[in-house]
Amino acid sequence: DSVRVLLHDCRHSLLVAVLAGLGRAMSEVGAVMIVGGNIDRSTRTMTTAIALETSKGDLPLAIALGLVLLSVILLLNGFAHALRQWALRRYA
C-alpha cells in the first residue's frame, strides 16, 4: 500500500524522467553509431540515418527524417501532457 501511495505522489516526476531519458536517447547519434553501428536495414536508427544523409549531401531527405522524428517526439509529449491533464482532473 505504501508503494502505491509513493508512486501516486511521484507520478509526474517519473513521467518527466522518462521523457527526458527518451529525448536523451534519441539525440545520442554518436553513441548509437559506435555501439550499434550503421548497417543499412539492420542497425540504422532514425538519428544515424539523418547524420548519414546529411553527410551524403541529401539534405531534403535528412530534413524530412528530422521532421518525422520531431513529430514523433511532439506526439509523445502531447500524449504525456494529455495524460497529466486527465490525472489532474481525476485526482484533484
Q: What integer pLDDT is reported at residue 38 of this predicted model? A: 67
7, pLDDT greater than 90: no
User: Which residue range is the domain that position 84 belongs to?
Assistant: 2-91
Query: Average of pLDDT values for 69-87?
Result: 88
* pLDDT band with cut points at 50, 70 and 90 for residue 28: confident
Q: CA–CA separation, 45 vs 34, rounded Å?
A: 12
48, pLDDT greater than 90: no
48, 41 Cβ separation under 8 angstroms: no
62, pLDDT greater than 90: yes
Phi, then psi, of 55 in degrees rounded to 5: -70, -30
41, pLDDT greater than 80: no
Per the model's pLDDT, the better-predicted residue between 78 and 28 turns out to be 78
The domain tally of the chain equals 1
